Amino acid sequence: MPQSSVSTGAKPRKVPRILILGGGTVGLYSAQRLRRRLGHREAAIVVVDPRPYMTYAPFLPEAAAGSIDARHVVAPHVRALKGVDVLQGKVSEIKHADRTVQITPEEGEPYWVTYDHLIVGLGSVARTLPIPGLAEEAIGFKNVEEAIAVRNHVLGRIDLASSTWDADLRKRMLTFTFVGGGFAGVEAIAEVEDMARDAIKQYASLEESDLRFVLVEGSRRILPEVSEELGGYTLEQLRKRGIEVFLSTFLNSCVDGHVVLSDGTEFDSETIVWTAGVKANPVLANSDLPLDRMGRVTALATLQIADETGNIVPDAYAAGDCAAVPDLYNPGAFCPPNAQHALRQAKHLADNLALVLRSAQPTEYKHKNVGAVASLGMYKGVAQMFGKIKVRGFFAWVLHRTYHVMAMPTWNRKINIMAGWTANLLWRREVVPLGSIHDPRAEFRAASVPPKPKAEPAADHSPVPSTEAKAPATA
């Protein structure tokens, strides 16, 4: 294929440096694979990410529900990336023509890093809309910190509502709204609702009927990743549990927690969770790499970055949510942004780069979807395997857990997750709210404020009335 001319500004090195932007699924798995394929004398590998760990996103709903310890859904880079250098900071600018990337650490001045080969695995961020009140009221569901926040917030509302006598305020506290009916939204509301019903049994002043869960979806169905039959089954199961599902409906406003839907429905809710889609990392707009209209890096099936005419950008590769990779099994379409593709693309990309460094030809990535699995709470789930086999209920829930625990990086995390599941079977899950962890210094700040000095009574300088003047006149 034709190649575009890109000048190189970096000085030649004895060992080529591979710079991997993003330490998520693509970054972690491609770095691991490259380290196994290439010796230290063949390549130096550097991963850049603002967080010191990879988050396994499919387990976020179970982390939010307390079925999995939140620490166990992340893989620390320091343990998972042996033999790989990790730089903690945000990518703020990419100048591939000069083979340089600017990194902004959490503390300190930005700096530039040079490289010979680039892998773009920056992933995605929540796709938000200019809805009044959304930025001020909603919680996202893209990372483990947000999953913990949702868990603590929901349990905290239940705890507060148990001591609240105002009926309207209690109703507002116990109304939980989730926006987005894809995998993330459906699994999140199902798992959290399951947890909330378990938690509310501990409060004598509350009933399960006090809880209100609402799911808002803009399209005509939920779970578009599976067949309409399974999507319909899931909808039926959610509604049987009392979850209100609004289809073909949009969130118009949520100012001060007052939710207004496009069909005219209005209610108050202190919990609004946004799971309505993702978009490519916006930092890509601050680069000289070719992007499509959705802001994704354009790539070939070989995972090499290329412009819209097919001209390859030398020494640059991309995969995962931030890349528009052709789906060879569905001509004209792109691989969907999910963990299944990201993981496999990462490994294939690493293999291709290793081939190129050894003067061999890269191969095309192709992967036929093996299925989709979703958890709907404890012992409940749906699964569609190989496009034909439809599973529901307990067996689907087992398939979900088995598939994802095997995909979780490092045996340490796999064992910890399975141990936690075993403990939950023997004892009830922990449902204590720890909302103060989101601002742990709040109580200390309040205690550190010196008390206001008491105001001394003002002196009375008014003239003392004369006794003689007041004496009554005598004859």
Mean pLDDT of the chain: 87
List the one residue out of 370, 367, 291, 282 whose CA is nearest residue 326: 367
| 61 and 192 together in one domain | no
| 138 and 106 together in one domain | no
Distance of alpha carbon 228 from alpha carbon 221, whole angstroms: 8
Question: Token pair for residue 353?
Answer: 């780069």
Encode 207-231: b = buried (16+ Cβ within 10 Å), e = exposed.
eeebbbbbbbbbeeebbebbbeebb
Is residue 466 situated within a structural domain? Answer: no
Distance of alpha carbon 379 from alpha carbon 429, whole angstroms: 14
Is residue 233 situated within a structural domain? Answer: yes
Is residue 460 situated within a structural domain? Answer: no
**43, containing H or E segment:** none
Is residue 376 situated within a structural domain? Answer: no
Distance of alpha carbon 237 from alpha carbon 215, whole angstroms: 13
Tens digits of pLDDT across the chain (475 residues): 333 333 344 456 788 999 999 999 999 999 999 999 999 999 999 999 999 999 999 899 999 998 888 889 999 999 999 999 999 999 999 999 999 999 999 999 999 999 999 999 999 998 888 999 999 999 999 999 999 999 999 999 999 999 999 999 999 999 999 999 998 999 999 999 999 999 999 999 999 999 999 999 999 999 887 888 888 999 999 999 999 999 999 999 999 999 999 999 999 999 999 998 889 999 999 999 999 999 999 999 999 999 988 899 999 999 999 999 999 988 889 998 888 899 999 999 999 999 999 999 999 999 877 778 888 888 888 888 776 788 888 898 888 888 889 888 888 888 988 888 887 777 776 666 666 566 666 666 667 777 777 766 665 555 554 444 444 443 3
Using alpha carbons only, give the angle 8, 13, 15 rounded to the nearest 5 degrees: 125
Last-in-domain residue among 229, 259, 276 = 276
Number of domains comprising the chain = 2
Domain of 236 in residue numbering reads as 134-276
Burial (CB < 10 A; 0-12, 13-18, 19+), residue 452, is: exposed
CA dihedral 148, 151, 154, 157 (to 10 degrees): -60
- Report the 3 state secondary structure along 161-229: HCCCCCHHHHHHHCEEEEECCCHHHHHHHHHHHHHHHHHHCCCCCCCHHHCEEEEECCCCCCCCCCCHH
Distance of alpha carbon 245 from alpha carbon 424, whole angstroms: 29
Last-in-domain residue among 253, 276, 299 = 276
- Give φ, ψ of 383 to 5 degrees: -150, 145
Distance of alpha carbon 306 from alpha carbon 300, whole angstroms: 6
Q: Are 44 and 15 in contact (CB under 8 A)?
A: yes
Last-in-domain residue among 309, 326, 357 = 357
| 112 and 153 together in one domain | no
Sheet holding 389-392, edge to edge: 371-375, 381-385, 389-392
**57, containing H or E segment:** none
Is residue 339 situated within a structural domain? Answer: yes
List the one residue out of 234, 192, 228, 230 whose CA is nearest residue 211: 192
| 141 and 202 together in one domain | yes
Distance of alpha carbon 89 from alpha carbon 52, whole angstroms: 9
pLDDT at 329: 87
Burial (CB < 10 A; 0-12, 13-18, 19+), residue 40, is: exposed
| 150 and 242 together in one domain | yes
| 38 and 102 together in one domain | yes
Is residue 406 situated within a structural domain? Answer: no
| 140 and 92 together in one domain | no
Is residue 235 situated within a structural domain? Answer: yes
Distance of alpha carbon 359 from alpha carbon 406, whole angstroms: 34
Using alpha carbons only, give the angle 312, 317, 322 rounded to the nearest 5 degrees: 110
Q: Are 181 and 217 in contact (CB under 8 A)?
A: yes
Alpha helices for 241-389 (secondary structure H) = 339-357
Residue 447 Cα distances to 91, 424, 437, 441, 443, angstroms = 39, 38, 17, 10, 6
| 272 and 138 together in one domain | yes
Is residue 381 situated within a structural domain? Answer: no
| 157 and 68 together in one domain | no
| 268 and 320 together in one domain | no
Number of neighbouring beta carbons within 10 Å of residue 43: 19
Distance of alpha carbon 352 from alpha carbon 356, whole angstroms: 6
| 142 and 204 together in one domain | yes
Which CATH number belongs to the domain containing residue 99 in this structure?
Answer: 3.50.50.60
| 253 and 338 together in one domain | no
List the one residue out of 379, 190, 333 whose CA is nearest residue 273: 190
